[in-house]
Amino acid sequence: MNILLLDDDHSVTELLKHYKSMEQDWNFFHIESLKDTTYTYYDIDIVIVDYLKDKYKKILDTIVTINSEIQTIIISDVLESSCTNGCEYCDNNYKRKRLLKPIDPMQLYDLIKNFHFNRCEYYKSFENITEIIPNILKRFLYLEYDKTSNLVVSKQQNQTNRYTYEVVSFINILEKNNVQYSMLDEYTIKLY
């Protein structure tokens, strides 16, 4: 399997090197721009895009224009569809899957290995992010989700600058995505 990786910070590159030790027939090609290409996109089985930056969007658009059947995994912390026409259009017209940062290394491995058997985990989730709150909270050290009571609570009961930053960041995500909430106290956020 030939895997093309679009990655600036090389974090996913390091993961793929590890996977190579488990999957001898996996070959990885890393590029940062269209100038880096020395092969045709028909030789690629999967494209992995680490964070959908403008330059990667252009490369991805070029690849899809050449080969609309190419399998694509997009890794990002942005809570919106990678396709401007939305999840349903993406699902019907592209072979794309999405992972939210921070990623679980085994989740990426499984998605590469079993791409055809998986539906995008975030299909239509960006229309109502309350379904993916546990995934969003993985990027926060001090916050956890109690699904039964629909509460986001602090993992510790002492406020630090980092905790305050996380609460404000999480509230910004809620407000940007029109999620109704209330602060019950300084350590608890109720989601509606």
Strand partners, 129: none
* Residues 102 and 165 grouped into a single domain: no
* Residues 88 and 151 grouped into a single domain: no
- How many domains are contained in the chain? 2
* Residues 107 and 155 grouped into a single domain: no
Of 89, 111, 126, which marks where a domain is finished?
126
Model confidence band, residue 190 (pLDDT cutoffs 50, 70, 90): very high
Q: Which two tokens stand for residue 138?
A: 């993985």
**What CATH number has the domain bearing residue 21?**
3.40.50.2300
* Residues 6 and 70 grouped into a single domain: yes
Question: What whole-number distance in Å separates Cα of residue 75 and Cα of residue 92?
Answer: 20
Query: Is pLDDT larger for residue 132 or for residue 13?
Result: 132
- Given a cut of 70, whether residue 34 has pLDDT beyond it is no
* Residues 8 and 81 grouped into a single domain: yes
Of 86, 108, 126, which marks where a domain is finished?
126
Residue 40 sits in which domain range? 2-126
- Given a cut of 70, whether residue 35 has pLDDT beyond it is no
* Residues 26 and 98 grouped into a single domain: yes
* Residues 97 and 170 grouped into a single domain: no
* Residues 118 and 161 grouped into a single domain: no
pLDDT digits (tens, 9 = 90+) for 6-22: 877 778 888 888 898 88
Mean of per-residue pLDDT scores for the chain:
87
* Residues 112 and 155 grouped into a single domain: no
* Residues 134 and 117 grouped into a single domain: no
Of 74, 98, 126, which marks where a domain is finished?
126
pTM of model > 0.75: yes
Among candidate residues 143, 153, 164, 146, the one with its CA nearest the CA of residue 189: 153
